[in-house]
Amino acid sequence: MSQYLQTKNSTRKRGGLLVFIIFHRWVGISTFILLLSLAITGIMLNHTEELKLNQSYIKNTWLQNWYGIKMPQQQNFIKLDNTLIAQIGKKLYLNQSHLLDEKSPLIGSYKSNDFIIIAMKKALYLFTLEGDLIERLDSEKNLPSPISRIGFSELIQNSNQLMIEVNQQYYTSNDDFLSWTKIQSKEFYPLELEDPKNVDKTFYQNAYLGNELNLERVILDLHSGRLLGRFGVYLMDLAAIILIMLGLSGTWIWSRRFRK
Amino acid sequence: MRYIFLFIIIFSSVNAGAKGVYQSNADFLNEVFHNNLPKTQSLWLLNNIKKGAEKILGEKPSQLRIRYWARDQQTAWILEEVGKEKLITVGFLIENNTLKKIKVLAFRESRGWEVKEDFFLEQFFQRRLTSELKLDRNIDGISGATLSVRALKKLSRLALFYHQQVIEKNTL
């Protein structure tokens, strides 16, 4: 009788162990993808600098949309002969070269024989025709501001008589923009911005959007689960808990087998 | 607890007064020229002048035209250089290739503002430029303000170099 009970007890124990092994196996298989992602992204994040994750940018439109990255509202363009000046957000471009960052909006631009003049609301930039910065003028350099428009007093454009409009007053410079003089002008012919609809924005869209989201952020969000929002974070929490459970259950199964 | 609170108040008030604009460019120029400001002139950084500026800065100058104000053998310069991350604005008065006045006009970094203090700036008084475009005397640094000190040394050398160029061209 006691032998029967011993056999029955042992069978029950073996059956329990078997169930546990099956549970351990399936939980392991079902969370494998998550654990693999956690491990690979973890290794990558440990080597951010070597892998240059913070310098690699995501060009994928779907991911950019997922992160809500879109073109900024501030998009101003000016065409000067063969030169296109573009302001996308705070980034200022001369043709396809990124010149500098300037928050205040682009007001107007003019190309003389010597300079390219770019007027922003609170600053005026002088560039060589090759795009090298000559000088940035602002209120500390006696530039009247905020500039609302730039233009000329006559229809025939004369670079020496470029005027800036500030609070409905007109100023001009006769010494290559070192100083400004207020002038009375009955006529004012402003230089207009280009209608954005007439500009091919493909390059600027790629240049702007392609520099907003770096690989480090995506890997970090993949690691923490934030890529899938709050649900993703809980999912990765669950994966981490399961990883702990697998460790414990694996050890338990191993110890039971070892005892035999 | 009381002492900790007192320390926090003293520390925050000292720090609050540390960065900012100490004097406007216009006020500095009026001070050095006794409210009789000469007209603004400009020095173009081309050819050898650009090379000299590059040697001092260790990189290409950020702009090609520098403003200055001159009377008799004196020139005044307002120059800017990045300390660690932000620009430090410094005013200089130079006479006969010698630094007569140096003043930090604006300091935007969170650390290293001690360079605006007289005890540090006094070291630059009467300094000249050697043929190797270095200052003729060693400038003692300030612990915790290494990058700001470096920026001020560079700007002093630049101002003296630009002054030399203006004198050589007899544009005074």
Of all residues in chain B, what percent are helix, strand and coil, respectively (each to 5)? 40, 25, 35
Retrieve residue A125's tokens.
Answer: 């930039």
How close A159 comes to chain B (CA, Å)?
19
This complex has an ipTM of 0.82
Q: What is d(CA A67, CA A59) in angstroms, rounded to the nearest whole number? A: 12
Task: Report CB contact under 8 Å: A133, B67.
Answer: no
Closest chain A residue by Cα to residue B89: A140
Predicted pLDDT at B58:
93
Q: How many residues does chain A have?
A: 260
- Name which of A126, A128, A141 is nearest B67 (Cβ-Cβ): A141
Q: Among A45-49, A254-258, B108-112, B120-124, which range has the highest average pLDDT?
A: B120-124
Any idea what the Cα angle at residue B105 is, between residues B102 and B107, rounded to 5°?
115
Q: What single-letter DSSP state applies at residue B96? A: T
Task: Report CB contact under 8 Å: B63, A135.
Answer: yes
Element (H, E) at A85: strand A83-88
Distance between start and end Cα atoms, chain B:
62
> Chain B residues with CB inside 8 Å of A126's CB?
65
Retrieve residue B81's tokens.
Answer: 């250089």
Task: Report CB contact under 8 Å: A140, B64.
Answer: no
Of B15 and A112, which is predicted with more confidence?
A112
Distances (CA, A) of A157 to A12, A82, A133, A162, A176: 99, 18, 23, 8, 16
Task: Report CB contact under 8 Å: A176, B42.
Answer: yes
CB A109 within 8 A of CB A118: yes
Task: Write down the H helix ranges in B58-117.
Answer: none
Predicted pLDDT at B13:
47
Hey, which residues does A86 pair with through a beta bridge? A77, A93
Q: Label residue B11 by pLDDT band (50, 70, 90).
A: very low
Q: What is d(CA A181, CA B148) in angstroms, rounded to the nearest whole number? A: 37
Q: What is d(CA B56, CA B45) in angstroms, rounded to the nearest whole number? A: 13
For strands A97-101 and A106-111, give the pairing.
unpaired
Predicted pLDDT at A149:
93
> Chain A residues with CB inside 8 Å of B29's CB?
none
Q: What is d(CA B96, CA A248) in angstroms, rounded to the nearest whole number? A: 82
pLDDT tens per residue across span A91-121: 999 888 888 899 899 999 988 888 889 999 9
Whose CA is closest to A173, among A187, A184, A162, A186? A162
A and B: number of Cβ contacts within 8 A: 28
Checking if the pLDDT of B171 tops 60, the result is no
Closest chain B residue by Cα to residue A125: B63
Q: What is d(CA B4, CA B11) in angstroms, rounded to the nearest whole number? A: 10
CB A124 within 8 A of CB A158: no
How close B62 comes to chain A (CA, Å)?
7
Retrieve residue A93's tokens.
Answer: 């471009």
pLDDT tens per residue across span A130-171: 889 999 999 988 899 999 999 887 755 555 578 999 999 999
Q: Label residue A3 by pLDDT band (50, 70, 90).
A: low
Q: Label residue A242 by pLDDT band (50, 70, 90).
A: confident
pLDDT tens per residue across span A170-229: 999 888 889 999 988 778 888 888 888 888 888 888 888 888 889 999 999 999 889 888
Q: Among A228-232, B17-21, B24-28, which range has the highest average pLDDT?
A: B24-28
CB-based contact, B30 to chain A, within 8 Å: no
Of all residues in chain A, what percent are helix, strand and coil, respectively (each to 5)? 45, 25, 30
> Chain A residues with CB inside 8 Å of B24's CB?
140
Maximum C-alpha span of chain A: 120
Predicted pLDDT at A170:
92
Predicted pLDDT at B31:
95
**Other CB atoms within 10 A of residue A191 CB:** 19
Q: Label residue A260 by pLDDT band (50, 70, 90).
A: low
Whose CA is closest to B152, among B97, B98, B104? B104
Retrieve residue B21's tokens.
Answer: 């604009």
Checking if the pLDDT of B64 tops 50, the result is yes
Of A75 and B171, which is predicted with more confidence?
A75
> Chain A residues with CB inside 8 Å of B25's CB?
140-141
Least confident of A13-22, B83-92, B106-115: A13-22
Q: What is d(CA A37, CA A34) in angstroms, rounded to the nearest whole number? A: 5
Q: Label residue A4 by pLDDT band (50, 70, 90).
A: low
Predicted pLDDT at A254:
84
